[in-house]
Amino acid sequence: MTTRTMSRPIEATMTDPSLGLPTISMAVPMPGFPAHKEFVLVRLNDDGLLYALTSLDNPELRFLVAPPEPFFPEYAPEIDESVFAALNTKDPDRVLLLTVITAGKEETTANLLAPIVVDRDSMRAMQTVLTGSGYPVRAIMNRSY
């Protein structure tokens, strides 16, 4: 069973500097990084469009991430129920989607095939592969507004 999830803006409570950096615990480690389970989400620009998902164990390990909606407003992937179970949530409205960004000299791309799903309440997360979705691993980013 899957649930269609619209990407939603990052709430102020997740990025307000007066509240400190939000700690995100990976329910399932990101592929290739089994030892890294605790991350902080660091805002990289004033618009709130780019963030660094930074490992607490090794601050040199960072993933450039962004909410997809400013770049891909029609992005509404179906998230498998097993992801909600791993995050201990049942409410798709309480999840935040982040896409992993690759910044290149010629173009910047987002991995729409494997978003990071974050439960806003528990701050637990996992990266999931949307098998059979047809979403690309390298979607060229263009701000839609």
For 94-129, write each residue's pLDDT tens digit.
Answer: 899 999 999 988 899 999 999 999 999 999 999 999
What radius of gyration do the chain's Cα atoms show? Answer: 14
Distance of CA 80 to the CA centre of its chain: 16
Per cent of the chain over pLDDT 70 is 83
Please tell me which residue, 101 or 16, carries the higher pLDDT value.
101
Task: State the pLDDT at residue 82.
Answer: 93
15 pLDDT higher than 70: no
> Tokens in use for 124?
């637990």
Please give the sequence-ordered ranges of beta strands (E in DSSP) within 7-138, or none if there are none.
Answer: 23-26, 38-43, 51-55, 62-66, 78-80, 95-103, 108-119, 124-127
Please say whether the beta carbons of 111 and 138 come within 8 A: yes
Q: Across residues 72-99, what is the average pLDDT? A: 92
Percent helix, strand and coil across the chain, each rounded to 5?
10, 35, 50
**Region for 20 from its dihedrals, namely left if φ exceeds 0, alpha if ψ lies in -120 to 50, beta otherwise:** left
pLDDT tier for residue 92 given thresholds of 50, 70 and 90:
confident
**Residue 141 C-beta-side C-alpha neighbours within 13 Å:** 24
Please tell me which residue, 82 or 16, carries the higher pLDDT value.
82
1 pLDDT higher than 50: no
pTM of this prediction? 0.83
**Phi, psi values for residue 111, rounded to 5°:** -85, 95
Task: State the pLDDT at residue 7.
Answer: 47
